[in-house]
A and B are shown apart, each in its own frame.
Chain A
Amino acid sequence: MTEPYVELHAASAFSFLEAASLPENLVEQAASLDMPAMALLDRNGFYGSPRFHAMAQKLKVRPHVGAEIAALDFGKRIVPPLWTGHERTGEPVRIPLLCKSRAGYQNLCQLITRFKLREETKTEGAARLDELEEFADGLICLTGGDEGPLASALVRSGEEEGRRTVERLVSIYGRENVYIELQRHQERQEEWRNQAALRIADSLKLPVVATNGVRYAVQYDREILDVFTSIRHGLDLSHAGRLLSMNAQRHLRSAKEMQNLFSDLPHALERTAEISQRLDFALDNLGYEFPRYPVGEGDTMERFLRQRVMEGVRTRYGHQGKRSMLAKATAQAQRELALIEQLGFAGYFLIVWDIVHYCKRNDILIQGRGSAANSVVCYALEITAIDPIAMDLLFERFLSESRGEWPDIDLDLPSGDKREQAIQYVYQRYGELGAAMTANVITYRGKSAAREVGKALGFDAATLSQLSSLVGHWEWRGPNDTMDHQFRHAGFDIAHPRIAKYLELCLRLQDMPRHLGQHSGGMVICQGQLDHVVPIERASMPGRTVVQWDKEDCADLGLIKVDLLGLGMMAVMKDCLELIPKHYGDPVDLAQLPQEEDIYKVLQQADTVGMFQVESRAQMASLPRNKPTRFYDIVVQVAIIRPGPIVGKMMHPYMRRRQGKEEVTYPHDDLKPVLERTLGVPLFQEQLLRIAMIAANFSGAEAEELRRAVGMRRSMQRMRDLEVKLRAGMTVNKIPAATQEQIVQSISSFALYGFPESHAASFALIAYASAYFKVRYLAAFTCALLNNQPMGFYMPAVIVKDAQRHDLKVRCIDIQKSDWSCTLEHESDDSVSLRLGLMYAKGLRQSSGLAIEDERRRSGGFLSVEDLTRRVLSLNKKELTQLSTVGALNSLGAVGHRRDALWQVEQAGKPVGPLLRAAEPLTTTKSADSPLVKMTTEERLVADYAGTGLTVGNHPMAYRRAEMQRQRICSARELRSLKDGSYVRTAGCVIARQRPGTAMGFIFLSMEDETGISNIIIHPDLYERERILVSTGRFLLIEGKLQNEDTVVHVKAHRVERLSVSEIEVHSHDFH
């Protein structure tokens, strides 16, 4: 009978570019080989351990934890011979260490953190001897394969040095914890080292153990490892030579295979099981503890929280408008507090409260979103702005006794410096070893895989850029959108073996980790000892540190995180709060914005360009049908245009019921209280949970599992398991099969993009505020929007044109008036107008823009081009040319038009040296007689779009309106008054292209002309015929049938034609 074999030295693709299989694949292979346990030792970290652990538990393989630790003082890794000419980077050797106990794990975490944080920047780092000694307890040390210290010593100085190296390891880890490791990849040099290692083991009376130094699950994946090696060394495969692996023997081997290999050393195999028995630690035993909030002496966190909450409840509900709800709110707060105390979460709430208060003290706009908005405690602590009592929100969605899970609070902050300030506060408050960002594992996706595999196969730069530009265009993948079809379309012969191999490798690289990035805002906090739980390392951004796990891994292992997310619209809100009182004289309180009918009217008309969450084409198409009249309608509106409700076929029934075209019914009478608010159609996660609890008798814990499963990307399998249970529960409750199907469909469609009601409410609040500001204070809102780009659905050009259609005066960039950012000006008729900022002059550096602003403030306006260049020395010729081209210098003395300025800057761009500069007389009229001809309207338009991406003059389409009218081409405004079903011709500038995954290959174009935006639907067949035109055409002429239902207007295109309007470089926003 075959003795069991445990692989104790395997690395996953989380050893970034040094191994080629995902942890899950390694475990699956181990399970298929009947391996009882397995250890994952990635390079300098536990990056892949949570995924390895989760899969191993599922497949009943015992997961052991460890890492290969780079160590200084033990020499360098073996490298190819000198004559090969490869760069000898001299990486330190790596010692494989396995965690025997939790203490060992904590030591290893601290060790990695210590040497990673010692570095100033994000880099691999290596441990010093004294650090290895300090953190040696609870660890088992192997001598390693060719990356290890023994192999290095043997190759460097022979057997004696090898013996000394092993003796040093024994002195660090203790005799009983050091094993001489033997690997057999059937390479001669390695066997020579093995024989030396055996003699050393014999002389030092140390045990030997066999491993296979696994780098991939199956032999076939050696190809991926070779590609990774090429990428790592920046060489193509043909030039990587001896850096590549010699053979494909580093795969997971069965016990039988290992027995054949080590038939002369059976005890080396038996020892793997012995060591496995000694490894007591697994990742579910982390010992993580959420930080306590420091309160005064004699006080408790619970009491402190209770006081803050009650104060908050009085503030929130104490005023006249809400006094009726005070009693209810107090009771609810008491109930929540009791649960919070019972679950021991008081510290968490106080920490979040502390961050929120820091932001408020420091003038940083902050608002909680997500399920936290279901809680009165959060509302009272000013973490959220949604009143859960008034909105009757379900607290259990946020927190429940049975769930045993930490609450999840997401905080929205204005993107940029303010958010960074809040993040730095958390670092400073909880210490470098107490808080860190969660990681974001950057994986190979279509484009990156295409580019790097192409490089590895030695394609030239032009081919590479053509190849990688092909990949990943649209979200929808139609039957013709296979990669090979795309390749053929772009002119590559996929029958050619090299191209075929390229394609295959690109596909195999998908989802492989490339490197570790940081999550956009998730922070993990742990009472000053986060480095006991997970290693912390430097992020590439200065001042940031990051844990080695992503947010899903953190959640799986029970680590609590606070999300400090950057939201562009929050920055817009913040700017509006400053601009409105200053320029309009009106005080504004974001929490007390009046609910006004006018605002809802604008929403009903879908006049929503620039508004938060309700501006997309799909939102615009549904707003006239939903006809929001109160705040809750916006909550629904925000949640309904999502892939979840659309795939779940919930959008249309809701709209029909909303319009009274369909009767409101319920799948089951018991579900009426849950679904009443949304007219019998389930739209929110909370409703789906309640349905599961009512219809299928799910317990709280099961409901929690369901919620986790629907909210996570990696949970398809978990969802399938739960589905079986769900159906069984419904059958018990005698729910008919068709209804069951409907319910299951609703729930599983949320697997990709679920949306909780409280989250929708938080977003709706911002959506309403943005609508309010746009309608009431258009200049301030547009100014704030333009200053916080890129964000939202539309390019600045569209935002400006939309604002102009709403009678806002938008002034061009003017060197005498424009600041770096866009600003507001007061016209003679007291109206407020918008002045474009210098930031919109493409290619102008911010430092130059600010220098212009400063100089003008200090010494007044500029007299001439000469004066400008003399006073703002940082401006280079390119920048001056750009400013001239966009007309920003037209207001200078002796400048009649843009080409005058261009003529002058060409000379001014070549100033005399500093010695003579002062001596040169300052004139305002030098070179005034420019021989150049003024730009034509068309040229000015082209220059505007090329230089600023927008124009404040007429829309390009306006110049050809008369001609188009003769050709019976309708404007966007005219389309609205035409009858449904009429055959129309329309034309415009494409401002957005979409091919949503939910639309079966249909493409939606938004086209703009001087009268507004029109919506075009392109059938997949038409797209196939006119692929290039639809994908890249800037100005299009569309012929087709008009759909005009409920004031929602679309043109279903039958024919597409290129429209020759101008050479303008208009950029559309294409959504993939």
Chain B
Amino acid sequence: MSYLCIRVPEFPVQTLLSLRPQMRRQPIAVLEHEPPLERVCSMNARAFQQGVRHGMTRVEMENIADITGLRRSVNEEQSLRDALMALSGQLTPRLEEMSSDYVCSDYVCSIVLDLAGTERLIGSPVEVTRRLQQQLKVLNIEAAACVCDHVPTALAMVRTLRSDSVPALIPSGQERSSLAPLPVSAIEPDTEQAETFRLWGIRTLGQLAALPIDELVSRMGQSGKRLHELATGTHRHHFRPLEPTFSLQAQVAFEEPIELIDSLLFVLGPMLDRLIALATAKALALLSVQLTLKLDTAMVHTISVRPALPSTDRKFLLKLLQLELAAHPPGSAVIGLELTAEPAPPSRVQGGLFAPQLPDVSRLDVTLARIQSIVGEGNVGSAQLKDSHAPEQFDIVPFRVQPAKSLPDDLLSPVRMACRRLRPPWPARVTKEASRPSHVVCEHRHFRVKHAYGPWYSSGDWWNSDIWAREEWEVILRTESAPMPLHALLVHDLVAQAWRLEGVYD
């Protein structure tokens, strides 16, 4: 039984360069995090030779002449990872991705291939390695490779190999001798263990292997035993092959483009049935459902619904999809559907005997979906104030029925008036006399200011680009035409230098 271990170091930079081969000869560094806190997380050999190091800031990096900085792309890395798995999968169905043993596994990609039985199909392990490396070359990827019967030994070996070096082949029974010259860091001891080895003068795995195991265990415990086994190539590794992921997915293609949404529902129903059946078979429910519509314009249109609780209620889910489709119609004829769902354990709600009657969750969901289809996304829910002096600072959070409780003390003020906010506010032109508003022109109407109370000043967020500053007046406005005065909130935005009528008092 043989294993092939491949290791792609500096994965972020290799990922980016695999799609940009014209840049391979340049010194390239990859930066992660947001400006101004960007840091170098990966670099190619040329950049390293010029002095670029992990953790440098962008400016430090730019101080080194001719270094090109690229933004890290996690999506591209994931797709390359998938591609590597797919390529390896062509050689053997049994693959294991090693990452848990790496502190910064994110920047490295290590894959172990179980070569058992591949000899007849493809050839010797050397041949498999050669083929895999050829394919990696096509992808512009450099990886170190090692073939060995013992996975941890292969892993230790690839950690010490350069990515452009010849693949290592460790014959069976020679694990210990092959490991002996490698540095202790090849088996990745933790910081404390590394310090102990440093003090003991243990630099190589051979030196570590030479220590009497009993004595070592009495000093370092079971972790010492593990490290000793790793150093002698005797540590037992449990191969954990990647399993196909469980996915809830159904697709259909139409022979004729369909324009009517209702017609789609006839197809959607059975698709939903299938997903529900698959989920129920694993004692799961649908947490969210995503529908992708392939349009005759070669575009796709995607909608998704997410009930308050995971559900397997076909009728309910279909209704939600119908409402969502009504709110976001595709805009052209549909030639295919793809329905995917995210599974989750079904919810079980235990009603209390004396608990107040709450609306049925699924009916409430449908109602909220109906409202949302009318007022638009993000406009349904409960308003939750944000901790800020700034105006209009609230979030819309999902509506949740809560037991009634009295208002907190600090919201009870002796004088409290209702102000109806105008959304959007009305732009206004204001004339001032003696520093107070005297006339307001708004919505093509001319008002005379009978009384003005204020100004009330507020400002904030001066430390970032959201800086704001307002001067507010409560005004009583009159027009010649209307007999009743208008009590309004007049605001002067001091940053934009604009007046607005923002509210009307009851």
Chain A interface residues (CB < 8 Å from chain B): 80-86, 158, 185-188, 192, 223, 226, 237-239, 241-242, 244, 246-249, 260, 457, 459-460, 463, 488, 490-493, 496-499, 501, 881, 885, 899, 902-903, 906-907, 910, 927, 931-933, 935, 939
Contact = CB atoms under 8 A, between A and B. Distances in A.
A81 B408 contact: yes
A496 B36 contact: yes
A256 B62 CA distance: 54
Contact of A906 (B220, B409, B435): B220
Contacts of B57: 490-492
Interface of B: 35-37, 56-61, 63, 196, 199-202, 210-212, 215, 218-220, 385-389, 408-411, 413-415, 435, 454-460, 462-465
Nearest to B211: A931
Contacts of A457: 463
A665 B101 CA distance: 80
A498 B36 contact: yes
A247 B215 contact: no
Contacts of A881: 199
A247 B459 contact: yes
A491 B37 CA distance: 10
Given A186-B454, A907-B218, A935-B201, A493 B211 contact: no
B457 A186 contact: yes
B199 A247 contact: no
B190 to A, nearest CB: 16
B408 A82 contact: yes
A505 to B, nearest CB: 8
A496 B454 CA distance: 37
Contact of A491 (B60, B219, B458): B60
A493 B58 contact: yes
B458 A246 contact: yes
7 contacts: A187-B457, A237-B463, A238-B464, A247-B459, A497-B464, A903-B219, A906-B196
B265 to A, nearest CB: 43
Contacts of A82: 408-410
A248 B410 CA distance: 24
B59 A85 contact: no
B200 A903 contact: yes
Contacts of A247: 457-459
B219 A907 contact: yes
Contacts of B210: 931
A158 B414 contact: yes
B463 A932 contact: no
B217 to A, nearest CB: 10
A83 B385 contact: yes
Given A82-B410, A492-B59, A939 B215 contact: no
A492 B38 CA distance: 10
Nearest to B202: A932
B59 A493 contact: yes
A186 B456 contact: yes
B65 to A, nearest CB: 15
Given A82-B410, A186-B454, A899 B36 contact: no
B201 A932 contact: yes
Contact of B200 (A248, A459, A899, A907): A899
Closest 8 CB pairs of A and B: A241-B387, A491-B60, A491-B57, A906-B219, A81-B410, A247-B457, A84-B387, A496-B36
Nearest to B434: A260
Nearest to A460: B37
Contact of A226 (B36, B387, B388, B462): B462
B215 A927 contact: yes
B218 A187 contact: no
Nearest to B221: A910
B460 A83 contact: no
A761 B101 CA distance: 68
A492 B463 CA distance: 18
Contact of B389 (A246, A463, A899, A931): A246
A907 B216 CA distance: 9
B211 A491 contact: no
Contacts of B462: 223, 226
Contacts of A241: 386-389
B60 to A, nearest CB: 3
B35 A242 contact: no
Contacts of A460: 37
Contacts of B414: 158
Given A192-B415, A497-B465, A498-B464, A80 B37 contact: no
A492 B36 contact: yes
Given A493-B36, A499-B36, A242 B388 contact: yes
A491 B454 contact: no
Nearest to B201: A933
A239 B385 CA distance: 14
Contacts of B202: 932
B457 A249 contact: yes
Nearest to B472: A188
Contacts of A935: 201
Contacts of B199: 881, 885, 899, 902
Contacts of B456: 186-188
Given A188-B456, A246-B389, A247-B457, 11 more contacts: A82-B408, A84-B387, A85-B387, A186-B456, A187-B457, A226-B463, A238-B464, A241-B389, A899-B201, A927-B215, A931-B210
B408 A83 contact: yes
Contacts of A899: 199-201
Given A186-B456, A493-B58, A931 B212 contact: yes
A448 B415 CA distance: 45
A1058 to B, nearest CB: 14
B13 to A, nearest CB: 19
Contacts of B56: 491
A238 B196 CA distance: 44
A965 to B, nearest CB: 30
A150 to B, nearest CB: 15
Contacts of A931: 210-212, 215
Nearest to B59: A491
Nearest to A219: B459
A303 B410 CA distance: 70
A498 B408 CA distance: 37
A902 B211 CA distance: 14
A907 to B, nearest CB: 5
A81 B411 contact: yes
Contacts of B212: 931
A120 to B, nearest CB: 33
A939 B455 CA distance: 75
A422 B290 CA distance: 80
Q: Which of B202, B211, B387 has the most CB of A within 10 A?
A: B387
A242 B389 contact: yes
Nearest to A155: B410
Most chain B Cβ neighbours within 10 Å, of A186, A488, A501:
A186
A460 B57 CA distance: 14
B192 to A, nearest CB: 10
A514 B68 CA distance: 44
Q: Name, among A237, A457, A460, the residue most crowded by chain B CB atoms within 10 Å (CB to CB).
A: A237
Contact of A242 (B387, B411, B415): B387
Contacts of B410: 81-83
A572 B65 CA distance: 54
A868 B409 CA distance: 65
A939 B201 contact: yes
Contacts of B58: 491, 493
Given A493-B59, A906-B220, A932 B408 contact: no
Nearest to B389: A246
A734 B124 CA distance: 107
A80 B387 contact: yes
A1068 B331 CA distance: 74
Contacts of A260: 435
A85 B387 CA distance: 8
A124 to B, nearest CB: 24
